[in-house]
Structure 1
Amino acid sequence: MEKDSNFILTGKAVERYFDLNDALMEFHNLFTYESKDDRAIAILGGTFLEMILEHILYAFFPEDDKEVGEMMQFNQPLGNFSNKIKMCYCLGLIDKIIKDDLNLIRKIRNEFAHDLYASFESDRIKSWCLQLKWHKIIVTPYPPSDATPKDYFQVGVNSLITHLNGCVSIARNDKRIIKDNF
């Protein structure tokens, strides 16, 4: 992609753009504040954020579906949430505060995925939810006094999604290009 055409989507970028927007609509329908299923909220929030990180990496990496796709598979370098967070951070695609919040959400998602009795009110999960910072910067530094740990989680996830969705476009503008020869 040439620098002059950065704002015109072509090829796989168009397909990925519409895939992400379709996923955002589906996420919006499932990740509601009315949902009583805490496990679904925790797992869905973390999983969707992992998916956006994957979109950021695909937007940044060169168009080589075979090589990049293999790296994203399970048991490969970018086959899990933690490694996607690290890679985006090390490439300068996300800031430290975003990395830290993503790691907290990853821990929360994993706790709900592996502990049948996980709850937003458990001390560990509550502590992680209250440590989330990004939403305090862009939404409000003073959440309502009656905000629950689940509220902190949901606002934190939604704030990160908004930010990371913009990071996809930024990564696309810095897309790596495969050099055929010197």
Structure 2
Amino acid sequence: MKLKPPKNLENLYEDTQKVFNVLNHESDIACVLIGASYLSELLGSAIRTVLRKSKVTEKLLGPGKGILGSFQTRADMAYCLKIIGKSDLQDLEVIGNIRNSFAHKHLSFDFTDSEVEKECNKLNAWNIKLHTEEINSDPHIEKLPETIFKVDSTRQKFVISIVMIKQRIINGAFTKIASE
């Protein structure tokens, strides 16, 4: 099967509900592999959005053989292009490590594994409490209760991280375009 370059950023919205269904209802391995793959696709699309439209860009972003075809190089480039911040870059590295752990183990590996729990605890994006502190420091808006965002499981940390990073990739790309 021939690998395809990333979709346009706008076209990825069509996949959002399907991805969320996998993240929330399928097996742990499906959650990790699809979640990481979706972020990789978003990163490639965001990079394509801010780079010059050309065959060279498509060649660079080609999955598998393009210099920007891998998950980590896309994350690194998105950071260098100021599409994402340092915290998201660090989280993407952790997500890549988790994905690799799942890909190289077999079915007995899941979110209850101590190695996976340790990695998920390194993620920053899931910790919405940090974001509520930012929101609650603004005197012009109503305070949010911190307990509203209780995260009960390692899988929830992973899923929330995917969702938060997804949104920041999209926002970062569109902000970058608007500023040019």
Smaller-chain TM-score bracket: 0.7 to 0.9
- Cα pair 2:23 2:35 within 8 Å, conserved: yes
RMSD: 2.2
TM-score with structure 1 length normalisation? 0.77
- Cα pair 2:94 2:123 within 8 Å, conserved: yes
Please state if 1:26 is matched with 2:15. Answer: no
Shift of 1:98: 0.6
Gap change, CA 1:148 and 1:139, over 3 Å in 2: farther
Match of 1:126 in 2: 117
Post-superposition Cα deviations, 1:113-155, rounded to whole Å, max 9, x if no partner, equal 12113221222111111111123233687763x7111111111
Q: Distance in 1 between matches of 2:9 and 2:122?
A: 32
- Cα pair 1:38 1:120 within 8 Å, conserved: yes
How many residues align? The count is 157
Identity, in percent, stands at: 19
TM-score with structure 2 length normalisation? 0.78
Q: Distance in 2 between matches of 1:139 and 1:67?
A: 42
- Cα pair 2:125 2:160 within 8 Å, conserved: no
Q: Distance in 1 between matches of 2:155 and 2:91?
A: 15
Secondary structure of the structure 2 residue equivalent to 1:135 = coil
Please state if 1:101 is matched with 2:74. Answer: no
The one of the two structures with greater contact order (alpha-carbon pairs below 8 A, sep at least 6) is 1
Matches within 5 A, 1:1-182: 16-32=8-24, 35-64=25-54, 66-73=55-62, 74-116=64-106, 117-136=108-127, 137-138=130-131, 144=150, 147-174=152-179
- Cα pair 2:42 2:170 within 8 Å, conserved: yes
| Gap regions ≥5 residues in structure 2 | 1-6, 134-145
